[in-house]
Structure 1
């Protein structure tokens, strides 16, 4: 397998056609080595347009989804980032390359350890991995400039909105099967939020994610 050719093909055939045109983002995908963040058994499909299995039954999002979210969040160097759902640590590494610091919360201790190992092996020093339940965000250390939810949310909990600075952005996959919306939620002021739908997708919900109330008759 020619790793660099596979990486080039991923960027040019999957990611760029998905309206990821920010050259800084495209360059970053060559710098942060995706193949170093997938389990060894799946290294040969690190660049494929699919979800890659992770320890504990979790899955790594397809490259084009991660790249598009990264572009839309437009993280800048002075910003602090909260990620919910660490997975392999790859998205945290991408966010860390753009922002000042990243706190990433993972409910699975096994996955948190896997991500910490990957981040350390790839020289990423501005990410803090926390083992815990981030279904309602993580207020400790907040408010944040950016919140990236790397898992599905049937509804957007109010707690996430309250942990965002004015001018801050949340990226989340909101809704339920068969179609969910990738959204960017921007905090305009203390009480107002602007929601932009970016694309449609289907992502497994976070463990313990808040569900909408069910009506009883």
Structure 2
């Protein structure tokens, strides 16, 4: 049952909207999204929508996961920083595509549950931290790619500082409820920003984001 829903998701939600990166599509075919939703909501796992997962957080819409991941242009040898572990679905997608994923989550219960879930699914290239994601994870910087799965008022300076030269960051930034999805590249000439479109994420809470 889930395989059919997954393939329908790939075809109608992702490919039909311009997701062309075969590595991203294959990763989303491989990761069982129904394992990452709240118990009792498995039937909605492959729907074209974000779903609540408790603690005021959500598991992002499949298209948004694919769009943000595609924008990073991962080749397989990167060190990636993820801000907002949530249930670990985006983390698993990244783990399929990069060498190592460092993921930071503010809510300790979500982080702990995601760690158990990902270990059970066989992912051994993910490192977890509970803390303020707006400050990143400086101990392991610089990162080839950074993905932020919550919307802040601006690009946190700490995250940009932790991006490697030539690296790419995808982050929602703007108002508290609605943002622009930004692709930020660090180049020798400075910061380059491309707007990938409108979006709506839960607030990025922390010292360099929104206040609680």
Q: Shorter-chain TM-score category?
A: over 0.9
Aligned equivalent of 1:185: 184
Alignment of 1:89-108 (within 5 A): 89-108=88-107
Q: In the alignment, does 2:5 pair up with 1:42? A: no
Report the Cα distance in structure 1 between the residues aligned to 2:177 and 2:122, rounded to whole angstroms.
Answer: 39
Is the 8 Å Cα contact of residues 144 and 168 (structure 1) preserved in structure 2? Answer: yes
Structure 2 matches for 1:35-184, cutoff 5 A?
A: 35-176=34-175, 179-184=178-183
CA contact (8 A) 1:153 1:209 kept: no
Instruction: Give the superposition deviation at 1:96.
Output: 1.1
Could you list the per-position Cα deviations for residues 6-40 of structure 1 after superposition, in whole angstroms to 9, with x for gaps in the alignment?
A: 11111111111221011221111111111111122
Alpha-carbon distance, 1:178 to partner: 5.8
Give the Cα–Cα distance (whole angstroms) in 1 for the partners of residues 108 and 30 of structure 2: 27
* Corresponding residue SS for 1:135: helix
TM-score by length of 1: 0.92
Name the residue aligned to 2:192.
Answer: 194
Q: What is the CA distance between 1:59 and its match in structure 2?
A: 0.8
Q: TM-score, normalised by structure 2?
A: 0.94
The structure-2 alpha-carbon separation of the partners of 1:98 and 1:211, relative to structure 1 and needing over 3 Å to count, comes to: closer
Distance 1:124 1:182 in 2: 28
| Partner SS state of residue 196, structure 1 | strand
Tell me if 1:205 matches 2:179.
Answer: no
1:25-69 deviation line (CA, Å, top 9, x unaligned): 111111111111112221110001111111322111100000111
Measured on the aligned residues, the alpha-carbon RMSD in Å equals 1.5
Aligned to 2:14: 15
Distance, in Å, in 1 between the alignment partners of 2:102 and 2:152 is 19
Q: CA deviation at 1:185?
A: 0.5
Give 5+ residue unaligned stretches, structure 2: none
Deviation at 1:76, TM superposition (A): 2.0
Judged with a 3 Å threshold, the aligned counterparts in structure 2 of structure 1 residues 178 and 105 are, in CA distance, closer, same or farther, namely closer
Q: Deviations over 1:123-180 (max 9, x none)?
A: 1110011111112222111011111101111111211111011010111001115641
Structure of higher CA gyration radius: 1
